[in-house]
Structure 1
């Protein structure tokens, strides 16, 4: 976690240094709610952290491009209760993601969309309080993932704003060849789906 924080700060500092070249730099942080399509569970029950930095270039009065570097916690969770026969499950996957977003601006509001490339930094998985990710033959999530982001943001002040976004896997994170696997686009398996509420601060 400490190495990730140092890496994000280094890239963020680079973004600040190129502000003189008409780029805008900033930071963002928030919380995520995630699920895994294909794990036979349902609901955005896994909470996580979302934070990072961005650089933004205005293309015109109405449009901009933004590149981000974010730390993103995703996964799935089931707390034992009578509705699931008291089954317990937890899956946590930590990623560094690189989104490239196109923004359309209208007054204080903006809508944005674009792909992101994710790199798995670590995972933890357990079922009925038994560790799965340390067992022989563990089906590890894919080291590299590809997602699509869609969201809306608005400025609360000149530099401070809030955002809501969705982040959905385009390629499977793993295939179990099990009953719960789902088909999405051109692959079959399990997929991350997450929602994020965040604040962002633009340096200038």
Structure 2
């Protein structure tokens, strides 16, 4: 279902780029994530972060719009770790829809916003490596705050780094005697279709 949705949206991108009011981009990269509260310290769980972005252009500097992403998150015990935790790994597969605002200055684009995440599958292993998914109920619907920055290599290509933190607990209330909230650092390439991102014109003061 997720793959079909992304394919349909990719096919629709050329028509969105035809006008000057909107910009469409494809995004691909990786998450490095952890879960606060599980005692598995460090961003040791890599995962895919990929999808599309469509923004409304609000002048030379401002844009606003959603992304639609396939995003893998979770947590993992580091090899030879001394962490005392009843868990070995969390693997979360989400369909993520961030709504972001962007401010562009020279070659830098700052971004911030909120993200809805639909958890459509997950796996949880205990400290012995046993699958305890059937007895570990997690929330299907999550909300996160996101902030980041993109460096524009040229009008079409950019390197994006983004930080994300869940605002709601991942675990279902009374199922686990703690509070779990995920955090991720994402490193992504962004390709913007058409003419891409023209740099703002310099003023006399600059």
Which bracket does the TM-score occupy, shorter chain normalised?
Answer: 0.7 to 0.9
**Which of 170, 173, 198 is the matching residue for 2:170?**
173
Distance in 2, matches of 1:155 and 1:161, equals 4
Instruction: Find the residue that maps to 2:18 and give its secondary structure.
Output: helix
Counterpart of 2:80 in structure 1 is 81
Distance in 2, matches of 1:43 and 1:99, equals 24
**Which of 158, 174, 180 is the matching residue for 1:161?**
158
**Which of 145, 154, 166 is the matching residue for 1:148?**
145
Instruction: Find the residue that maps to 2:168 and give its secondary structure.
Output: coil
Distance in 1, matches of 2:111 and 2:66, equals 12
CA deviation profile, 1:5-44 (whole Å, cap 9, x unmatched)? 2221212323432223421111000011000011122111
CA deviation profile, 1:92-133 (whole Å, cap 9, x unmatched)? 000001111100110111100000101011001112121101
Question: Structure 1 residues 109, 85: CA separation in 2 closer, same or farther (over 3 Å shift)?
Answer: closer
Counterpart of 1:186 in structure 2 is none
Asked if 1:16 corresponds to 2:20, the answer is no
Asked if 1:193 corresponds to 2:190, the answer is no
CA deviation profile, 1:172-203 (whole Å, cap 9, x unmatched)? 1114553xx3xxxxxxx211100000001001
Instruction: Find the residue that maps to 1:130 and give its secondary structure.
Output: coil
Instruction: Find the residue that maps to 1:18 and give its secondary structure.
Output: helix
Distance in 2, matches of 1:78 and 1:27, equals 32
Counterpart of 1:61 in structure 2 is 60
TM-score under structure 2 normalisation?
0.86
My pick for the range that moved more, 55-64 or 44-53, is 55-64
Counterpart of 1:133 in structure 2 is 133
Unaligned runs of at least 5 residues, structure 1 = 182-188
**RMSD between aligned residues:** 1.8
2:38·2:85 contact (CA, 8 Å) conserved in 1?
Answer: no
Instruction: Find the residue that maps to 1:8 and give its secondary structure.
Output: helix
Question: Structure 1 residues 87, 118: CA separation in 2 closer, same or farther (over 3 Å shift)?
Answer: closer
TM-score under structure 1 normalisation?
0.86
User: In the TM superposition, what is the alpha-carbon distance from 1:161 to its structure 2 partner?
Assistant: 0.6
